[in-house]
Amino acid sequence: MIVRDRPSPLRLFLVMRGSVLPNIWKSLLGTTLLAAAVTWTHGSLWGHKIAIGAIPFTLMGLPLAIFLGFRNNAAYDRYWEGRKQWGELVTRSRNLARQCLSLIESGDSPDGAPRERMIRRAIAFAHALRHRLRGSDPATDVQPWLSTEEWARLQSLPNLNHALMLEMGADLNQCLRERRIDPVLATSVDATLSAMNGVATACERIRGTPIPFSYTLLLHRTAYLYCVLLPFGLVDAIGDLTPIVTLLVAYTFFGLDALGDEIEEPFGTSDHDLPLEAMCRTIEIDLRTALGDTELPPPLLPVDYRLN
């Protein structure tokens, strides 16, 4: 995610990091060169004058802008929903640590008290969810929070998050059997675990259900068709200014189209995706603090305006 202040008017057109321009410059260049060629030939193609006029573009431009806006709103809804779910995970992880330490009595188990294992597994749960959403290997970030035997048992399972949640449920059951927690209070801990599981399911839903391809394809095609034909409708009216006006219109439409693509999948690793590593680090710091750990890692900060 790009984290920076709004640039000054003098630098507004020089900012490249976080801009969609690197993704659309080839399309802009092609459209502008075509507009220059149309201007040079006065709208003629193989000796035939192509007179389209401005009315078709007026009729097409407004619906195209509206549909691009609708698509970008849908894409941002997915982005914001993903951010809300991860904010919920931060909250529930903190609540779980508090509930475990305040509601569950400590014990003398040789492998550590169940309440401490639950907190460590909550850290592993956040890292595992991040790697699951990004399709990366979770071993480096998850293994340190589990015992060797547990990691060997869980690493080959298809859904590591679900497996960790089952382990935390087993820990809560152990606390009930050993009378470390009142059954009435155990309900609130179970509700927190269920909410964390709900966050993982919601994120999987967002990742596994993209905006319908046919809708996106229609907008892609319409935007390109509009910008390719636009010079033929402008050349008779504005003459030599046709390439400049075409460039400005194409930048707007291609930019909106590319922006929707950028934020549609919020869990990736591009400049505009959610900073899942930073949020996992926040959860790790908070839960390690609850465990009494004093050697805490620093919060992740933006590097070159980018927060991972």
- pTM given for the model: 0.88
Rounded Cα distance, 204 and 190, in Å: 21
168 Cβ neighbours under 8 A, 6+ residues apart: 118, 121, 122, 125, 193
Give the DSSP H or E segment for 49.
strand 48-49
| pLDDT digits 0-9 by tens, 183-197 | 999 999 999 999 999
Report how far residue 120's alpha carbon sits from residue 117's, in angstroms, rounded to the nearest whole number.
5
Residue 298 exposed, middle or buried by CB count within 10 Å (0-12, 13-18, 19+): exposed
CB within 8 A of 198, min separation 6: which ones?
A: none
**Least confident range of 234-238, 291-295, 296-300:** 234-238
The per-residue pLDDT for range 168-219, each reduced to its tens digit, is: 999 999 999 988 889 999 999 999 999 999 999 999 999 999 888 888 888 8
Helices and strands (DSSP H and E) totals, the chain: 10, 2
Task: Yes or no: say if 107 and 180 are a contact pair by the CB < 8 Å rule.
Answer: yes
Phi, psi of 178 (to 5 degrees): -90, 5
Could you tell me the pLDDT band of residue 107, with boundaries at 50, 70 and 90? low
Span 25-74, pLDDT tens digits: 899 999 999 999 888 887 676 666 666 767 777 778 888 888 888 888 99
**So where are the chain's domains?**
21-290
143: tokens are: 């293994």
Give the number of other Cβ atoms within 10 Å of residue 222's Cβ: 17
- Sign of the torsion formed by the C-alpha atoms of 147, 148, 153 and 156: positive
134: which 2 tokens? Answer: 């990004």
Helix (H) or strand (E) holding 175: helix 160-177
Beta-carbon count within 10 A of 50 CB: 16
- For the four alpha carbons of 228, 233, 236 and 239, in that order, the dihedral sign comes to negative
